[in-house]
Chains A and B, each alone.
Chain A
Amino acid sequence: SQQGEEDPQALSIQEGENATMNCSYKTSINNLQWYRQNSGRGLVHLILIRSNEREKHSGRLRVTLDTSKKSSSLLITASRAADTASYFCATDPFGAGGTSYGKLTFGQGTILTVHP
């Protein structure tokens, strides 16, 4: 069952602006990941943050994780038209040490539109 909720459901911004998406989940996790999906295509893995981490950066991406609130945020700085896509968070409750390693629960996603 889907446990993740993301907000906003849709976000429309101008090129150069920052985009912030939030994700909440319900159960304990080993890690949380963010993925991008262009319309009708496969998933692109963006970043993974472990439950013992609070913040992680990768290029223009910044992810935070608050396990006490069971929430995460993805910030895309200086957005570009090419960032237009759907963004999903996904949680893995067990990680590599668990028997269900790889079994992910996805959030509902945020549709980001960046206008040139």
Chain B
Amino acid sequence: GAVVSQHPSRVICKSGTSVKIECRSLDFQATTMFWYRQFPKQSLMLMATSNEGSKATYEQGVEKDKFLINHASLTLSTLTVTSAHPEDSSFYICSATGLGYTFGSGTRLTVV
């Protein structure tokens, strides 16, 4: 079946630094991937749609300059949280549609 690999699974970074999260489709090509964010005890909120070879589409209220998305190949999308602050601490999860809806295992970001 379709597999989406997401790394790292957990990261702790200092306030002001940048963190990159990778999302790879392992056995299928994904022209579109999605990035979600989940705060503790809350639901998943779509942040942006990552489009291979073009600019990402961001949901209302999501700062595109803070959450940089790059989808340079058909199997890889990256989310970079720039100048991270404690309020960016969250669970980030990507998804892609190959043989269905496939989610990565998520990344727990803690900004200290």
> A residues near B, CB below 8 A?
1-2, 4, 33, 40-43, 45, 48, 88, 90, 92, 96, 100-109
| Of B13-21, B74-82, B93-101, the one touching chain A | B93-101
Residue from A1, A88, A96 in contact with B44 in the complex, judged by beta carbons closer than 8 Å: A88
Task: Specify which chain B residues have a CB less than 8 angstroms from the CB of A104 in the assembled complex.
Answer: 34, 44, 46, 95, 101
Docked-complex contact A42 and B104, CB < 8 angstroms: yes
Task: Specify which chain A residues have a CB less than 8 angstroms from the CB of B12 in the assembled complex.
Answer: none
> B residues near A, CB below 8 A?
6, 32, 34, 36, 42-46, 49, 59-60, 91, 93, 95-97, 100-101, 103-106, 108
Q: How far is the CA of A48 from the CA of B106 in the complex (A)?
A: 21
Docked-complex contact B106 and A42, CB < 8 angstroms: yes
Q: Contacts A107-B43, A109-B43: A41 and B49 contacting too (C-beta < 8 A)?
A: no
Interface SS, B side: strand
CB distance from A61 to the nearest CB of B (A): 16
Docked-complex contact B106 and A2, CB < 8 angstroms: no
Residue from A101, A102, A108 in contact with B43 in the complex, judged by beta carbons closer than 8 Å: A108
Task: Specify which chain B residues have a CB less than 8 angstroms from the CB of A4 in the assembled complex.
Answer: 43
Q: Closest chain B residue to A6 by CB distance?
A: B43
Task: Specify which chain A residues have a CB less than 8 angstroms from the CB of B59 in the assembled complex.
Answer: 1
Q: Contacts A45-B100, A88-B43, A107-B43: A102 and B105 contacting too (C-beta < 8 A)?
A: no
Q: How far is the CA of A42 from the CA of B3 in the complex (A)?
A: 13
Q: How far is the CA of A53 from the CA of B30 in the complex (A)?
A: 28
